[in-house]
């Protein structure tokens, strides 16, 4: 479904010049970010390659700034490669915590517009509407403007809208981070349904338990490169926690759950 072939993504930041000997510039050079006059270049993705197959759910893990969100945007076609290529067999839909819902409109209007934006007809949007509302759990808030929603409510509604349609490639960027336990169960079941419908799901998450429960493969990134990838999800997550200084807690072998101190943060 997705082939990432020696991908490089470079950001060019304009108007960011300064003293080459300043602390900020020295830090940028130490992190591998080049400076050139009033332009700084950030090499966010550094030659990564992998293949995602039909039915895969792939967890993308790594510390802040490791390139996880950048990778999803590149797969979605929102960022042009500096070098290398991304190939997909169909459309890729990116769902993130900053997905474009309109704050001044009600949740109801956002659901309808979101369904139409995904290519549904007006009739399909009408048919799916109630199931989206029920899935999100926002209740009577659906009739209020989005700006009155908490971060968690907005996140749940974004996921519910995106999950109303079967996607060939669905990219989820921390969209489940603010969900409660009940919503996590529903979202986990929905991702399983999407996989069974022959789609491919990418999940960027710092909740490593969610990755273990949901994904059949994992890609561990650091500083724009792949440290490790494969289908031994629990083993790779263990190594990531150890390398990141996290404190693992006993995993229940019956359910493959881990309760642990989260490591990392937003990309």
Distance CA 136, CA 7 (A): 35
Domain boundaries, the chain: 52-260
- Separation between Cα atoms, residue 17 and residue 37, nearest integer Å: 6
Predicted local confidence at residue 173, as pLDDT: 82
User: How much of the chain, in percent, has pLDDT values that exceed 70?
Assistant: 78
Per-residue pLDDT for 117 more than 80? yes
Q: Are strands 225-230 and 217-222 parallel, antiparallel or unpaired?
A: antiparallel
| pTM of the full structure | 0.73
**Residue 259: its pLDDT value, please?**
37
The more confidently predicted of residues 86 and 166 is: 86
Q: Tell me, what's the pLDDT at 33?
A: 60
Mean pLDDT of all residues in 183-202: 79
The token duo for 194 is 């999407």
Phi/psi region, residue 77 (left: phi>0; alpha: psi -120 to 50; beta: rest), is: left
Q: How confident is the model over 244-266, as pLDDT tens digits? A: 877 654 455 544 444 343 344 44
**Residues near 82 by beta carbon (within 8 Å), at least 6 away in sequence:** 8, 9, 10, 43
For residue range 47-77, list pLDDT tens digits in order. Answer: 999 999 998 999 999 998 899 999 999 999 9
Residue with tokens 């067999």: 89
- Architecture category of domain 52-260 in CATH: 3-Layer(aba) Sandwich (3.40)
Handedness of CA 82, 84, 88, 94 (dihedral sign): negative
Mean pLDDT of 17-40: 59
Name residues whose C-beta falls within 8 Å of residue 181's C-beta, 6 or more positions apart in sequence. Answer: none
């Amino acid at each position: 479904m997705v082939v990432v072939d020696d991908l490089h993504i470079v950001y060019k930041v304009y108007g960011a010049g300064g003293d080459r000997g300043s602390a900020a510039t020295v830090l940028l050079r130490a992190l591998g970010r080049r400076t050139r006059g009033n332009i700084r270049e950030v090499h966010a993705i550094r030659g990564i390659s992998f293949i995602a197959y039909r039915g895969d759910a792939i967890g993308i893990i790594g510390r802040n700034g490791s390139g996880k969100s950048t990778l999803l945007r590149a797969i979605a076609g929102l960022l042009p490669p500096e070098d290398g290529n991304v190939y997909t067999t169909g459309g890729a839909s990116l769902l993130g915590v900053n997905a474009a819902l309109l704050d001044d409109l009600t949740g109801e209007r956002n659901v309808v517009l979101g369904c139409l934006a995904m290519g549904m007809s007006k009739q399909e949007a009408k048919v799916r509407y109630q199931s989206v509302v029920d899935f999100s759990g926002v209740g009577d808030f659906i009739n209020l403007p989005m700006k009155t929603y908490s971060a968690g409510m907005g996140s749940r509604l974004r996921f519910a809208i995106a999950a109303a349609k079967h996607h060939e490639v669905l990219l989820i960027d921390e969209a489940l981070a603010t969900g409660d336990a009940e919503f996590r169960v529903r979202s986990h079941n929905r991702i399983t349904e999407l996989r069974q419908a022959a789609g491919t799901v990418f999940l960027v998450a710092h909740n490593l338990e969610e990755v273990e429960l949901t994904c059949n493969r994992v890609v561990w990134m650091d500083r724009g490169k792949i440290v490790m990838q494969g289908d031994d999800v629990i083993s790779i997550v263990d190594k990531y926690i150890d390398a990141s200084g996290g404190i693992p807690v006993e995993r229940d072998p019956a359910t493959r759950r881990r309760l642990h101190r989260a490591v990392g943060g937003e990309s």
